[in-house]
Chain A
Amino acid sequence: MTPKVLSLTLLSASLAAAGLSAASTALADESHLPDEPIRFVTPYPAGGSHSLHAGIITAVGEEFLGRPLISVIRGGGGGAVAAAEVAGSTPDGSMLLFGDPTINSLRPQVEDLPYAMEDFVPVARINYSSAIFVTTPDQPFQTIGELVEYAADNPDDLVYSSDNRNGWTYTVFEMLKSTADVEMRGVELGGGGPAVTQLLGGNTMAYAGDASVVGEHLEAGTLTGLCVTDIERSDAYPEIPTCQEEGYDVVFQFWRGVMAPAGTPDEVIAELSDGFERMTQSEGFLRLISQIGSGIQFQGHEEFAESLAAEQAALREAYLGE
């Protein structure tokens, strides 16, 4: 049966590769990682950009970490369930979380979740995306300034597509509403898919999402980009201004990164970080990543720890006023 033969071939190929790399690692340096496959946990249901990235990472990662990577997709609670599980696991590098800012920086500070922000230590940041505020061409506003004006003039009128409470889209809209001092109503639709659907169908008037979700609509002209929540313009869509340029200080980089449970020894973290770095420089990996329309903005564990701490502090200040 072809799938079984195929998968057996892949399995034996990867086992062989594992054997080779284990041998070479043994020759070179002693590894601090436990001698078992590493479980790479994606906290969202299959099919989103997260699981897509995770699929690629686990498919090619073994060569660079010396251990097979097993992709575990454990959705639920907006990511809280998987995060709690990883937080409680043995801190030896055998279980890693593929996290993002809502799970690791924002929600643990503002919600009562079964894990704390401090339960995780950063290992490596793989990449980040910024949100693009979008609307449809038939709406009465076509720039972010016009949107704010419209909201100010019609306070109860503007309805936008949101994702989940304290999710990414939710947060950037809250930031916009607070800097611009306007009111708008967000409908929590659960994710990018339904959010874009309702926007295209004319039921909502605006949305802010990842390029992978809104990108082809921007190019096809079915959606208009308003501004980008980044410090510089996007390479793929240089004609869309940053929100800062337009006068609204909304910056939110939705990073995707590897997190380990707190208590993981430093050598393990360093080794993992190293391995991921080499992976993100490899041609095969980069090719696959570009095929899904994504990029790499790698940060090793030390750099990542710094930017993460800064982000967490900024969010604490914004939300809790400390």
Chain B
Amino acid sequence: MSFEGNTLSPRLTRLVETLMGVGVMGIGLLFLRTVHATPPPYGDPGDIGSAAFFPGLVALLVSAIGLVLTLMAWRPASPAAMASGRTARALVAYALMVAVALGLPWLGIWLTAMLAVPLMALLFDERRWPVLLALAVIPPTLVIHLFEGVMGIYFPRGVLL
């Protein structure tokens, strides 16, 4: 199954690479700032035995690599291309995942499961109502009983269900 899809334009690719490089550098700097704050919260970053040495060192390395990545994005030779795809749909799916993760404690496991499964199937272009209905009922029932009945792991019931 070889992939021959579209790739992003070189400019867009460069932009993404730059953003990622900056992002990595940013994370490194954030951690670095926390470690080197005054007063030093975890001990002296220079002392190998302290709680601050290892995080400080790694944060430094990550910041440096972030810088390297950003610079690499601007090499004259065009960087390795990135594939394009149906990103919008994936982002909607991700929003659903986040909603589920946040909503489970309030909605309870049954409601969440019975909504999430068919909604995700919808995103996969499944339109047949019987299938969606079956998906709303059968997998949640099986899975929840597996966890709660067999394994004894209970889920939050939520405010409603």
Q: A: which residues have CB within 8 A of B?
A: 3-4, 7-8, 11, 37, 70-71
Question: In B145-161, which residues have CB < 8 Å from any A CB?
Answer: 149-152, 154
Q: How many residues does chain B have at the interface if contact means C-beta atoms less than 8 Å apart?
A: 5
Main secondary structure of the interface of A (DSSP, over half): helix
Cα–Cα distance between A321 and B152 once the two chains are bound (Å): 46
A70 lies within 8 A of B149 (CB): no
The answer to whether B154 touches A70 (Cβ under 8 A) is yes
- A7-B150, A8-B150, A11-B149 known; 9 other A-B pairs, CB under 8 Å? A3-B150, A4-B150, A7-B149, A7-B152, A8-B149, A37-B154, A70-B152, A70-B154, A71-B152
Q: Is the interface of B mostly helix, strand, loop or mixed?
A: loop
- Which residues of the partner chain A approach B149 to less than 8 Å between Cβ atoms? 7-8, 11
Which residues of chain B are within 8 angstroms of A70 by Cβ–Cβ distance?
152, 154
What is the CA–CA distance of A3 and B152 in the complex, to the nearest angstrom?
Answer: 13
5 closest Cβ pairs, A-B complex: A7-B150, A4-B150, A70-B154, A11-B149, A70-B152
How far is the CB of B53 from the nearest CB of chain A, in Å?
15
Chain A's closest residue to B150 (CB) is A7
Chain B residues whose CB sits within 8 angstroms of the CB of A11 once the complex forms? 149
Interface residues in chain B, defined as those with a beta carbon under 8 Å from any beta carbon in chain A: 149-152, 154
Closest chain-B Cβ to A13's Cβ sits at a distance in Å of 13
Find the B residue at minimum CB distance from A71.
B152
CA distance A164 to B137 in the complex (A): 47
User: Which residues of chain B are within 8 angstroms of A37 by Cβ–Cβ distance?
Assistant: 154
User: Please, how many angstroms separate the alpha-carbon atoms of A172 and B82 in the complex?
Assistant: 59
A7: chain B residues within 8 A (beta carbon): 149-152
Q: Find chain B residues with CB under 8 A from A71 CB.
A: 152
Jot down 13 A-B pairs with beta carbons below 8 A, ordered by A.
A3-B150, A4-B150, A7-B149, A7-B150, A7-B151, A7-B152, A8-B149, A8-B150, A11-B149, A37-B154, A70-B152, A70-B154, A71-B152
CB-nearest residue of chain A to B146: A4
**Residues of the A chain whose Cβ atoms lie less than 8 Å from the Cβ of B152:** 7, 70-71
Q: How far does the alpha carbon of A202 sit from the alpha carbon of B121 in the complex, in Å?
A: 59
Given the complex of chains A and B, what is the CA–CA distance between A37 and B154 in angstroms? 10
**CB-nearest residue of chain B to A39:** B154
**Which residues on B sit within 8 Å (CB–CB) of A8?**
149-150
Alpha-carbon distance A238/B151, docked complex (angstroms): 42
Residues of A within 8 A of B154 (CB): 37, 70
Nearest opposing residue in chain B for A10, CB measure:
B152
**In the bound complex, how far is the Cα of B152 from the Cα of A62, in angstroms?**
14
CA distance A158 to B112 in the complex (A): 57
How many whole Å from B47's CB to the nearest CB in chain A? 16
Closest to B151 in A: A7
Which residues of chain B have C-beta atoms less than 8 A from A3's C-beta? 150
Q: Tell me, in angstroms, the Cα distance from A4 to B149 when the chains sit together.
A: 9
A37–B149 alpha-carbon span in the complex (Å): 14
Contacts of B150 in A (CB 8 A): 3-4, 7-8
